[in-house]
């Protein structure tokens, strides 16, 4: 189906009925994009049992008319939330669900003021995010294309990984190649780290120059048709010593262990446990400093989380990262991250960059 918006809005209406609310309001651009197709960065979507309206301003008039499906477009002049509030008040709406995570305290106050005392604003969390977690075929195709694009760039980048190049230079080369191949920006700040700096899981590219016989960690992603990819590769500039090789193999085995168990119906924490137990048997579990993965989609971090204590089950249509890592202070870090679609049968890897230890 090319226009899945009606089905998504129908699910929101079910929530309205279940929670005895007259309207659902989202001011989160990712969420209104998902529900009505509008890709502008400012607006609000109001869904009621029998109608829906997207509020935005004159800058987006043409774009909204072209993109929005299943909702009327209302252009406001003096602020989106005052316009929404006024509209709700005029229609005598009594109980309105809004997304607690999408409004600041000041915005909530502005909305409340415009609604007047008779409208009850009820905070909600995760309503759209839970729907977004399960991707349809078109969404998976977009993520697959995004993962492929990011993977292709890695192979283009390998010849540039030479002693003397600086972290920020390599990051710029990577991002330039993503853009050239059609990525609309980067979904997060690209990570490039050399040597001992690879022990920082979220290193920011610095002016540090690469020396011979050092680890190189790259964590990057593409955005294609609004969908993100996210992958990490760790390579060695030179011939890797035995300890680095052993550690690399242990991280790769942990990743494969997680991949082998990932399937619908399994609690997300079990995928994390598979990676963690594998590293434990190699004596490395205490150096694994983060969760095993996270959902990706319109955003780089979304449901489901794949970490300790995450009891929610995986479902077919989830797309997650699997990214175990080991960080040894003073020596360096190794992380391997791939994007994985949960299918009816199990799991399918969407990223195609080579996974074995590359010695350059």
Give me the least distance between CB of 293 and Zn ion, in Å please: 7
CA 129 from centre of chain: 11
State which residue, 269 or 321, has the beta carbon closest to Zn ion: 321
Q: Encoding tokens for residue 147?
A: 């993962």
User: Which range in 224-232, 236-244, 278-286, 344-352 contacts Zn ion by CB under 5 A?
Assistant: 224-232
SS3 helix, strand, coil % of the chain, rounded to 5?
40, 25, 35
**Of 163-202, which residues contact Zn ion (CB under 5 A)?**
none
Q: Does 219 bind Zn ion (CB under 5 A)?
A: yes
Give me the least distance between CB of 222 and Zn ion, in Å please: 12
Cis peptide before 304 (omega within 30 of 0): yes
Give me the least distance between CB of 121 and Zn ion, in Å please: 34
User: Which range in 150-158, 197-205, 235-243, 313-321 contacts Zn ion by CB under 5 A?
Assistant: 313-321
Give me the least distance between CB of 44 and Zn ion, in Å please: 30
Q: Does 321 bind Zn ion (CB under 5 A)?
A: yes
H/E element holding 277?
helix 268-281
User: Which range in 15-23, 109-117, 217-225, 244-252 contacts Zn ion by CB under 5 A?
Assistant: 217-225
Q: Does 272 bind Zn ion (CB under 5 A)?
A: no
CA 327 from centre of chain: 23
Give me the least distance between CB of 117 and Zn ion, in Å please: 45
State which residue, 139 or 219, has the beta carbon closest to Zn ion: 219
Q: Tell me the β-bridge partners of 279.
A: none
Give the DSSP letter of residue 206: -
Give me the least distance between CB of 308 and Zn ion, in Å please: 16
State which residue, 47 or 192, has the beta carbon closest to Zn ion: 192
Question: Alpha-carbon distance 244 to 290, whole Å?
Answer: 20
Question: Alpha-carbon distance 161 to 114, whole Å?
Answer: 57
Question: Alpha-carbon distance 303 to 305, whole Å?
Answer: 5
Q: Is 72 exposed, middle or buried (0-12, 13-18, 19+ CB in 10 A)?
A: exposed
The residues binding Zn ion (CB under 5 A) are: 219, 230, 232, 321, 337
């Amino acid at each position: 189906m090319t226009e899945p918006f009606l089905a998504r809005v129908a699910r929101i209406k079910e929530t309205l009925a279940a929670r005895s609310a007259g309207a659902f309001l989202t001011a989160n651009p990712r969420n209104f994009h998902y529900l009505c197709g509008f890709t502008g960065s400012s607006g609000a979507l109001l869904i009621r049992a029998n109608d829906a309206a997207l509020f935005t301003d004159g800058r987006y008039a043409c774009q909204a008319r072209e993109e929005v499906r299943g909702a009327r477009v209302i252009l406001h002049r003096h602020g989106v939330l005052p316009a929404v509030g006024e509209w709700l008040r005029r229609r005598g709406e009594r109980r309105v669900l809004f997304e607690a995570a999408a409004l600041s305290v000041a915005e909530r106050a502005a909305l409340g003021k415009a609604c007047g005392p008779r409208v009850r604003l009820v905070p909600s969390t995760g309503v759209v995010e839970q729907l977004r977690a399960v991707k349809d075929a078109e969404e998976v195709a977009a993520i697959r294309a995004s993962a492929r694009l990011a993977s292709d760039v890695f192979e283009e980048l390998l010849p540039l990984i030479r002693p003397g190049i600086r972290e920020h230079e390599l990051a710029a080369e990577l991002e330039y190649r993503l853009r050239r191949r059609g990525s609309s920006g980067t979904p997060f700040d690209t990570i490039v780290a050399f040597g001992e700096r690879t022990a920082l899981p979220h290193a920011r590219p610095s002016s540090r120059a690469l020396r011979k016989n050092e680890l190189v960690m790259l964590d990057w992603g593409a955005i294609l048709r609004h969908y993100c990819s996210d992958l990490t590769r760790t390579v060695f500039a030179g011939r890797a010593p035995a300890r680095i090789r052993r550690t690399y193999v242990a991280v790769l085995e942990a990743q494969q262990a997680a991949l082998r168990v990932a399937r619908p119906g399994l609690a997300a924490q079990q995928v994390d446990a598979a990676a963690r137990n594998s590293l434990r048997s190699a004596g490395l579990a205490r150096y694994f400093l983060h969760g095993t993965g996270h959902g990706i989609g319109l955003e780089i971090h979304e449901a489901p989380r794949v970490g300790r204590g995450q009891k929610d089950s995986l479902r077919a249509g989830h797309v997650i990262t699997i990214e175990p890592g080991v960080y040894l202070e003073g020596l360096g870090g190794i992380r391997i991250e791939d994007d994985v679609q949960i299918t009816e049968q199990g799991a399918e890897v969407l990223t195609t960059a080579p996974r074995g230890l590359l010695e350059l």
